[in-house]
Amino acid sequence: MPRQNRVSPLGELIATPARGLVYGNRGCLHDAQGRIRRHHATRRWIACELFFLDEATAFAAGHRPCALCRREDYDRFRALLGEPGADALDARLHEERGRLRDAELASLPDGAFVLLEGEPWLVRGDALRRWTPAGYAERRARGTGTAQLITAPSLAAVLAQGWSGAVPLLHPSAED
């Protein structure tokens, strides 16, 4: 039985045997029996190498690059947001996490997540891709109108400024 150590775009801790591409850290969350004892232990929510499907999922859940193992990414991320250091950056992200906001679909950057019909969907070009723990499922046209933005405003701003070129690290299933 897998541990409840994977994170959805909504920041929920889930148990799944599916593997991801990005690791996250919120501090020690499990007790000795592997049960969740708390949602997070600190405001520092970082993304390193394994427990997220991909970097877009980590951003949607409110995580940022680790300043130790991903120093170059962290420095670029901090510069894009204009924050002087980790404390200010983490305080800002902590305030924004988990709050859904209405947003125009046409204005959203690639890599952002929206909530449609209770499900998280990745914005990718002119399409939306439904998130699952094992990868992205069906595709639908992005269309126009509004949706609830899952990705925090600061993280959406980083994506809009061209994080990692055009989009964050995406699971291969996001490709058409």
With CA atoms as reference, report the closest residue to 52 among 128, 156, 122.
Answer: 122
The pLDDT of residue 27: 64
DSSP string covering 6-25: EE-TTS-EE--S---SEEEE
Question: Domain range for residue 156?
Answer: 6-174
Mean pLDDT in the chain?
A: 86
Report, as an integer, the average pLDDT of 131-135.
Answer: 95
Give tens-digit pLDDT for 38-50: 677 677 777 766 5
Domain assignment present for residue 64? The answer is yes
Report the domain count for the chain: 1
pLDDT over threshold 80, residue 16 = yes
Domain assignment present for residue 1? The answer is no
Q: What percentage of the chain reaches a pLDDT higher than 90?
A: 54
Out of 35-44, 45-54, 140-149, the most confident range is 140-149
Domain assignment present for residue 78? The answer is yes
Domain assignment present for residue 148? The answer is yes
Domain assignment present for residue 68? The answer is yes
Give tens-digit pLDDT for 73-117: 899 999 999 988 899 999 999 999 989 999 999 999 999 999 999
Q: What percentage of the chain reaches a pLDDT higher than 70?
A: 89
With b for 16 or more beta-carbon neighbours within 10 A and e for fewer, the 5-25 pattern comes to bbbbbbbebeebeeebbbbbb
The pLDDT of residue 168: 76
pLDDT over threshold 70, residue 137 = yes
Identify the band that residue 29 occupies on the pLDDT scale cut at 50, 70 and 90: low
Give tens-digit pLDDT for 154-174: 999 999 988 766 557 899 999
Contact 152, 99 (CB under 8 A): yes
